[in-house]
Amino acid sequence: MKITDIVNAKKVTVSCELFPPQHGSELGGATSIVRDTAALKPSFISVTYHAGGDTSSHSIRLADEVQNMCGITALPHLTCVSSAKDIVQGALAELKALGIENILALRGDIGEGKAKAEGTYRYACELMEDIRDHGGFCIGGACYPEGHPEAETLQRDIESLKTKADSGCQFLTTQMFFDNNILYKFLYKLSQKGINAPVLAGIMPVTNSTQIKRIVELSGTVLPLRFQNILDKFGGKPAAMKQAGIAYATEQIIDLIANGVRGIHLYTMNKPDVASQIMHNLSDIIT
């Protein structure tokens, strides 16, 4: 089933994101995580993609596990980074053969000073155009409520989203954020620009302080004072930080749903137990 059909058919969707292991020997453990996450009956499960090399096949194998073994719609990622066009075409053919109808098309992180190699993509919109021309896929893209770290301004970043929409992007998933007001302002700006694709709110339950410090460094995500106080108070106490992080994420999601946001996407960090607690907290809210 296509993601746009899922989102349009339900009042609220809650999906989860997983990432594949770096080594083939770890696939058994990853498969267990997939099955534990699928048992929560999320609306769909996305699987991140490590472009090129052996790990790309891991991503496709886990997407196959999600959809064809567990019966949950899969949303595999494809990235521009290190992906020659022939590799992407091969991945598209393999995904289509597996009956997978959805792809999240991303640029990925391009290393400093790394030039565009011949036969590769540099921007997500280029990748989206090729997926669209291949046919048969519902295409998603990423968006940044606080603006992409490399964008000159948020407005310029939103203009880039309009280009993605024109290139075949049919829905968007946000980078994580911790202040809902930032998302509400962002959605208003998208509407002003005429971008009407469904937007799924990306929520990360923070269960350890080291994790979030690294994420903030990479993404520039702003931590509201209320959340920073939680980190300061409980960051050195793993059990307390996990409980507080789940509570904060739950409260964020409740506020989002109350304000009309229909799509919630959990960055689970391969922790089905964390996703399970959040789903339990929302059991009567999302029915």
Nearest by Cα to 279 from 62, 76, 37: 37
Is residue 218 helix, strand or coil?
Answer: helix
- Residue 129 known to be catalytic: no
DSSP string, 25-51: GGHHHHHHHHHHHHTT--S-EEE----
| Active-site residue identified among 17, 101, 129, 146 | 17
Cβ-contact 172, 140 below 8 angstroms: yes
Cβ-contact 193, 163 below 8 angstroms: no
Kind plus residue range of the DSSP H or E element containing 91: helix 85-97
Report how far residue 232's alpha carbon sits from residue 287's, in angstroms, rounded to the nearest whole number: 35
Report how far residue 74's alpha carbon sits from residue 60's, in angstroms, rounded to the nearest whole number: 10
Tokens of 66: 């999600």
Helix, strand and coil percent figures for the chain, each rounded to 5? 50, 15, 35
Active site residues: 17
